[in-house]
Structure 1
Amino acid sequence: MEHPVCFGIRHLSPAGAYHLRRLLDEREPELILVEGPSDFTALLGDIAGAETKPPIAVMAYTKESPIRTILYPFAEYSPEYQAVLWAKDHGVPCRFIDLPSGVFLGIQRPVTETTLSDDSERKGSGDVYRLLDSQCGEGGHEAFWEYTMEHSQTPEEYMAGAAVFGEELRSLTAGNDSDWPEILVREAYMRRQIARAAAEGFAPERTVVVTGAYHTAGLLSDAPAMTDKERGELPAVECSVTLMPYSYYRLSSRSGYGAGNKAPFYYGMVWRSFLEQDRELALYTYLTSISTYQREHGFMVSSAEVIEAVELSKSLAALGGHSLPALCDLRDAAVTCMGHGHFSEIALAAAATEIGTVTGSLPQGVSRTSLQDDFYRNLRDLKLEKYRSEVAESISLDLRENLNVKSEAAAFRDLNRSFFLHRLRVLNVGFGTLQPLRQEDATWAEAWTLKWTPEVEIELVEATLKGDTVTGAASFSMRERAREATEISAAAKLLEESYLCGMPEMVAYITDILQHLAADSSALTDLAASAESISVVMRFGDIRRLDSS
């Protein structure tokens, strides 16, 4: 059987993304196949949408509790993302070809300690990367990859390097990683998808497969494809898929993302250097970004120091036999010339320049659950969109009516913001954290810290089991807890929450339960806790536009 063109990549690789597009321009394929759950193919239109701004992620989640999820993130410089864009721009069919997400979730198992064979020459991938780190010096395998792959000049160079890297890693680890059985199943399924495309009439030589470098050898092997019988025996769970905004911090390996890199924002600079066809653009952008951050935060950095850092980074690269500096060279040069030899002086500048705070975005209504739509609609209507950032920001609310505006929405905006944020708290959605009031603060004031993270998106998905809107889900959650309450203190706490959430129907519902429980309650501590919760309601009076009588 003839094999398609298999382009092995690193999942966050600007050089891979650029050279892949060059290869696609040269080969003009009639079909593009991309590693990723096959049911994600239905989202290709939204992924490549004009208003979609990466980083984004496709999330699959089980429909029943407990919610389990898998995430597939994309940056602008992800080769998979650029393959999808190229296919759309050229009217070429594109498909994801890995196991469906329901199967991935069906075969998910708890992470356990990996058991290795007795052969000391055989290693897991973690062992190989640690060994590579020890031999690559201070920059570790990140620098090794950047020098040898991200600085490659042609698609052929990149493909050859990725193939060698993937084959060597595979030869050292095959059979030893705990997910090896899953790898074999995935590759058999992907071979099945490749064979299916050929059976449909797509010529292998006009088909390009985009896959992690590790899988290239497995997909090009003569091992049999998965049969219909084997496909039918795969476990699967019912799940849904959605697109969600993502962030550079979550793409970073520092957040625990296994396929990440240490510096997603810096790699965005490398991507720009490819697009501008200026090999040194990332070098200058990185060092000037460090100097700009320092100056903006009160640290003196002269133009001469920036120039010295540029020259030093080039010299450090040349000492290692490289034509361009890698991130480790740029950072060392910045520390020496702008940090006066102390990394602590530029630590915040380095974090801003290497990781960044970029968060992706999606057009309203794209591939979200109704509750996610309601969340973002509330952010827009309550003027909270600027707080959709991974940088925590404080906001102070004045719950009184604003008499200096004309519309009712503006007059009670802060009060409605409070209702919304308290409802999210009830749903355990960690977008807002209520700060304790100081003794001198008035009862009409609230202080919150707001911070959006991808975990917020996952928590919203989990809350969809309770309702289609934030208000509906919060009401369902409180009704469940009220029915389970056996002590008046628990019911009184729910009464307090429903009052803070601005939900009069829940106040009435829980008051009725509270009265029934009070008839049989005699424990002093329970009564005291109840009185404390009720006193909160009384202290606010009618500021929350609810009858506290």
Structure 2
Amino acid sequence: MNAPALLGVRHHGPGSARAVRAALERLRPRAVLVEGPPEADKIVHCAADEGMRPPVALLAHAADDPGRAAFWPFAAFSPEWTAIRWALAHDAEVRFIDLPAAHTLAAPGTAGRDGPDGAAGPPADPLAMLAGAAGHDDPERWWEDAVEHRGAGRPGDGGPGDDPLGPFRAVAEAMAALRSLPEGEPPGGEAPGDGGPPNPRDDAVREAHMRLRLREALKEFGEEVAVVCGAWHVPALAVRRPVAADRRTLKGLPKVRTEISWVPWTHRRLARSSGYGAGITSPGWYAHLFAAPDHPVERWMTTVARLLREEGRPVSSAHVIESVRLAETLAALRGRPLPGLTETTDAVRAVLCDGSDVPLDLVRDRLVIGDDLGEVPDTAPATPLQRDLTRLQRALRLKPEAGPREKELDLRKDTDTERSRLLHRLRLLDVDWGTPLASRARLGTFREAWRLSWQPELAVRLAEAGVWGTTVEAAATARAEAAAREADTLAGLTTLAERCLLAALPAALPVVLDALADRAALDTDVGHLAEALPALVRSVRYGDVRRTDTEALDDVAAGLADRIFVGLPAACAGLDRDAARGMRGHVDAVHRAVALLERPGVGDRWTAVLTVLAEREHLPGEVRGRAARLLLDEGALTADRAARLLGRALSPAVAPADAAAWIEGFTGGTEPGGGLLLLHDERLFGLIDAWLTGVPADAFTDVLPLLRRTFSDYAPALRRALGERVRNGPATGPARGTTAPAWDPERAAAVLPTMRLLLGLDDEECGMRLPPGAQHPPGAREMAEAGASARPASTGGGTR
């Protein structure tokens, strides 16, 4: 076999990339062979497109199972990427010579892998062995000194008088020595035995295919061939081995039909901390070394200073100068050719961060690793679903970014409404580009908050979703319809209906509602019905913000509420403690849902159900106490009647556990805010205080344990606050038989002018007129005019 130029490299090494570029400039080969899947030969030309911006990756997936996929990432500083770009710029043939993805993906356990070298490397770490032979205990530091710092005008950078092939000959010799060791793999590997089919992950199998592809190129292009591959494989490619032996090695490999494309990648996914087997510790630092070979330390410190200034830290030019001097001094003391990442990090910590690791962690995250996201041009092959998503991203000005960022959407604006629909549709397809955030106090029903972060794995999810349709809307519709047919719980169907409304999928909604109606008709478990109602009511109440028709959903919600009202009292009987707590949660959920359900008579029927729950003796204490509390809050239960229920539930004849359960349900128990309501609600505090002070002395010792059990769940600070209030004297609220403060219409009317101006209503629309002599409060008109100027013409239904 002829002797081609074998350029052994370290994947994602800027020093290797510069050396490869210098060697190719000297050799000027007619063909460049690169380690990678041969299926990519037909799309490698996309790398020359001006719109292709690394980091990017080749994504190969099984045509019938898109979840079985593998990535081959490339950064701007990857030697393979440098070789590809050089070959395309000089009209040289580019071919990939690694084992085809059709075989790689057929092996079990390949879903989501990062290429062959990302999962199965050499038997031992060659860098660690070489570093140890050179007397270094840190392989990364040794490699940085020996290879990555070659440049910046120093010998070995490929300039005049340097031999660009010298480093590759040295690396090949070192790898051959390592592979000849007893614990290493012999050069060329051994053919698989006869005990079963060959494993596509084995280096011997991959290298056999590389040799076959190399022979083909040598026959076609003669000796003008250069091979860029991992340094570990160089000795195996240089060895002479019969063609028949290599073909025997590859015989019987499993195979699947595959598809391949280019997808954006991120620096963070190139990091070893992400789990990428061929990753590096500092992709951002390596990208800097590759892009700034001259004065890399000065440029790096300037970049760090800029970041810290943006974060509000006082960093001056003097700090930058001093940090550069310190890094260079540390490198000299440690005998290094240039300051490496260790020296620059120590200098940044000492000078720019004042010795603190808190801002240093920010530098490591943002710069040493980084969130750079690559771009793939439109000329690259993509699935129809991917093209439709790209079109929507551009039309809606919603650019993918690797780093997480929060974005608020105003659903009264058409563009934000379409953005929300797109994100909800993608979530239906399990493409979680955006994650909804909990609404904050200043957000109304017409606002949404999202956390957006585009990760490379979403490309695989998008490929999987391609089986549902060629557009995002069509695919989400088909996926929702399938989910409706597969749903086995009523709550799952109501959640799906809500998601269909959020995603504006009118074609899928009838299918979901039919399945929902069938399931509701067959489901007799009141707990299941109670779980399902809140999502339905939210959809009915707030669906008009998105201008969607919710009439059919309103009918289903009303029917569900009626069934809950009929069956709830019976469903609460005979429950143990855990089941009673769960049912108390259902009662709360239904109560909130009924408050939003705009149907005549629904509220009155629910009040009647709560009255039954509060007064029926043999129901669990948690449910009875909670029902009494809800009635009291709604004004359907007088303070006197509440006091009688309290006294009856906590009488000495009642078992302490049942009494504790009632008081827990009444006060809110372990629920967030339950104790705070007791502290700040005069009526609640007064009722319990009046009952407690009225307990006879001989019964007090029996009551005390249940009180301690009930209040022990409160936080210590809350218990202290309750104790302080008790120590300050008896409750003065209305719970001791007094009535609530009288309604003062004049004080209430004082608020109306400001509300009228803020809402843009006249006196008739507001339903009340100003009392004689009432005037607008100072500044009310200015506030209202400012609010009116900022208010859109149509507020939708979200202002209710």
Q: Is TM > 0.5 for Structure 1 vs Structure 2?
A: yes
Structure 2 counterpart of 1:393, which letter? Answer: R
| Amino acid in structure 2 at the alignment position of 1:223 | R
**Aligned twin of 2:357:** 343
Matched residue SS, 2:70: strand
For 2:64, the equivalent position in structure 1 comes to 64
Is 2:264–2:375's contact at 8 Å kept on the other side of the alignment? yes
2:55, 2:74 within 8 Å by CA — same for their partners in 1?
Answer: yes
Is residue 56–residue 361 contact of structure 1 (8 Å, CA) maintained in 2?
Answer: yes
Q: Does 1:257 align with 2:276?
A: yes
TM-score by length of 1: 0.88
Question: Residue 447 of structure 1 aligns to a residue in which SS?
Answer: strand
2:34 aligned partner: 34
Counterpart AA for 1:443: T
Match of 2:337 in 1: 323
Please report how far the alpha carbon of residue 210 of structure 1 lies from its aligned counterpart in structure 2 after TM superposition.
Answer: 0.6
The residue number in structure 1 matching 2:44 is: 44
Q: 1:272 to 1:128 in 2, by over 3 A?
A: closer
Q: In 2, are the aligned partners of 1:14 and 1:150 still within 8 Å (CA)?
A: yes
1:269 corresponding residue in structure 2? 288
* Matches of 2:208 and 2:527, distance apart in 1: 63
How has the CA–CA distance of structure 1 residues 300 and 135 changed in structure 2, closer, same or farther, with 3 Å as cutoff? Answer: farther
- Structure 1 distance, partners of 2:273, 2:170, is 26
Q: In 2 relative to 1, CA 194–283 (structure 1 residues): closer, same or farther, beyond 3 Å?
A: same
User: Relative to structure 1, is the Cα distance of residues 128 and 87 closer, same or farther in structure 2, using a 3 angstrom cutoff?
Assistant: closer
Q: Distance in 1 between matches of 2:356 and 2:130?
A: 28
Against the structure 1 CA distance between its residues 145 and 483, is the aligned structure 2 distance closer, same or farther, given a 3 Å change threshold?
Answer: same
Secondary structure (helix, strand or coil) at the match of 1:364 reads coil
Q: Give the C-alpha shift of residue 43 in structure 1.
A: 1.3
Q: Sequence identity of aligned pairs in percent?
A: 33
Relative to structure 1, the CA distance from residue 248 to residue 487 in structure 2 (aligned partners, 3 Å threshold; closer, same or farther) is closer
1:162 counterpart residue number: 171
CA distance in 1: counterparts of 2:518 and 2:236, whole angstroms: 66
In the TM superposition, residue 308 of structure 1 has moved relative to its aligned partner by: 2.5
CA distance in 2, matches of 1:419, 1:376: 15
Structure 1 position 128, deviation (Å):
7.2
Distance 1:159 1:135, change over 3 A: closer
* Counterpart check, 1:303 vs 2:317: yes
Shift of 1:53: 0.6
Q: Distance in 2 between matches of 1:422 and 1:133?
A: 53
Aligned residue among 238, 259, 269 for 1:220: 238
| Deviation string, structure 1 residues 20-74 (Cα, Å, up to 9, x no partner) | 1221111111211111111111111112222111110001111233711111111
Match of 2:464 in 1: 462
Q: Distance in 2 between matches of 1:224 and 1:483?
A: 58
Q: Distance in 1 between matches of 2:199 and 2:10?
A: 19
Letter aligned with residue 107 of structure 2: I
Q: Distance in 2 between matches of 1:179 and 1:331?
A: 43
Counterpart of 1:151 in structure 2 is: 149
Whether contact under 8 Å (1:149, 1:161) holds in the other structure is no
Tell me which residue corresponds to 1:282: 296
* Counterpart for residue 617 of structure 2: none
Asked if 1:182 is matched to 2:202, the reply is yes
Distance between the aligned counterparts of 1:179 and 1:332, measured in 2? 45
Residue 142 (structure 1) aligns with: 140
Supply the distance in 2 between the matched residues of 1:319 and 1:48 (Cα, whole angstroms): 44
Matches of 1:127 and 1:215, distance apart in 2: 11
Change (3 A) 1:367 1:399: same
In 1, distance between residues paired with 2:216 and 2:180? 28
What amino acid sits opposite 2:402 in the alignment?
E
> In structure 2, how many angstroms separate the alpha carbons of the residues matched to 1:306 and 1:380?
40
| Structure 2: runs of 5 or more not aligned | 112-121, 151-155, 159-163, 190-197, 552-800
* Shift in alpha-carbon separation, 1:326–1:158, aligned structure 2, 3 A: farther
CA distance in 2, matches of 1:396, 1:208: 52
Corresponding position of 2:369? 355
Provide the C-alpha distance between the structure 2 equivalents of 1:130 and 1:389, rounded to a whole number of angstroms: 39
The alpha-carbon deviation at position 359 of structure 1 amounts to 1.0
Structure 1 residue 188: Cα displacement: 0.8
Does residue 1:372 correspond to 2:386, yes or no? yes
Shift of 1:325: 1.6
Which one of 383, 390, 398 corresponds to residue 410 of structure 2?
398
Letter of the 1:60 partner, please give it: A
Structure-2 residue corresponding to 1:120: none
Listed as ranges, the matches of 1:77-96 within 5 Å are 77-96=77-96
Does residue 7 of structure 2 align to residue 7 of structure 1? yes
Change (3 A) 1:158 1:300: farther
What corresponds to 1:207 in structure 2? 225
| 1:441 to partner: Cα distance | 3.9
Cα 1:346–1:451 change in 2 (3 A) is: same
Q: Distance in 2 between matches of 1:168 and 1:470?
A: 54
Report how far residue 169 of structure 1 moved.
4.6
- The 3-state SS of whatever aligns with 1:448 is strand
Structure 1 or 2, whichever has the larger Rg, is 2
Aligned mates of 1:136, 1:489 — CA distance in 2: 64
- In structure 1, stretches of 5+ residues that fail to align are 112-122, 403-411
What is the alpha-carbon distance in structure 1 between the residues aligned to residue 355 and residue 136 of structure 2? 19
Deviation of 1:180 (Å):
10
The CA deviation at 1:109 is 4.1
443 and 341 in structure 1: CA distance in 2 versus 1, 3 angstrom threshold: closer
CA distance in 2, matches of 1:454, 1:165: 35
Matched residue type, 1:6: L
Q: Distance in 2 between matches of 1:66 and 1:366?
A: 18
Q: Which residue of the partner structure matches residue 125 of structure 1?
A: 124
Find the aligned partners of 2:494 and 2:200 in 1 and give their Cα distance: 53
Deviation at 1:526, TM superposition (A): 1.6
Secondary structure (helix, strand or coil) at the match of 1:50 reads coil
> Superposition RMSD on alpha carbons, in Å?
2.7
Please, which moves more after superposition, 142-151 or 309-318? 309-318
Greater mean alpha carbon deviation, residues 449-458 or residues 312-321: 312-321
Q: Would the aligned equivalents of 2:407 and 2:450 in 1 still touch at CA under 8 Å?
A: yes
Deviations 1:185-231 (A, max 9, x none): 1111100011112223x212x11111111111111012334655654
C-alpha distance 456-311 of structure 1, shift in aligned 2 (>3 A): same
What residue in structure 1 maps to residue 774 of structure 2? none
Q: Which structure is higher in RCO with an 8 Å CA cutoff and minimum separation 6?
A: 1
Cα 1:435/1:243, change in 2 over 3 Å: same
Inter-CA distance 540–180: structure 2 relative to 1 (3 Å threshold): closer
Count of equivalent residues:
518
Q: Given residue 340 of structure 2, which amino acid in structure 1 is its aligned partner?
A: A
Contact 2:7–2:168 (8 Å) recurs in 1: yes
Question: Hey, what's the Cα distance between the residues in 2 that align with 1:81 and 1:456?
Answer: 23
Deviation of 1:502 (Å): 0.4
TM-score (norm 2): 0.61
- Decide whether the 8 Å contact of 1:58 with 1:72 is kept in 2: yes
Q: Kindly state the Cα deviation for residue 489 of structure 1 after the two structures are TM-superposed.
A: 2.9
CA distance in 1, matches of 2:396, 2:32: 43
Cα deviation, 1:434-493, whole Å, max 9, x if unaligned, reads 112246642222111111111222221221122222222211211111112344333222
Task: Give the whole-Å Cα distance in 1 for the aligned partners of 2:313 and 2:289.
Answer: 26
Residues of 2 paired with 1:482 and 1:180: CA distance? 40
Summarize the alignment of residues 410-421 of structure 1 with structure 2, pairs less than 5 Å apart.
Answer: 412-421=414-423
**What secondary structure sits across from 1:465 in the alignment?**
helix
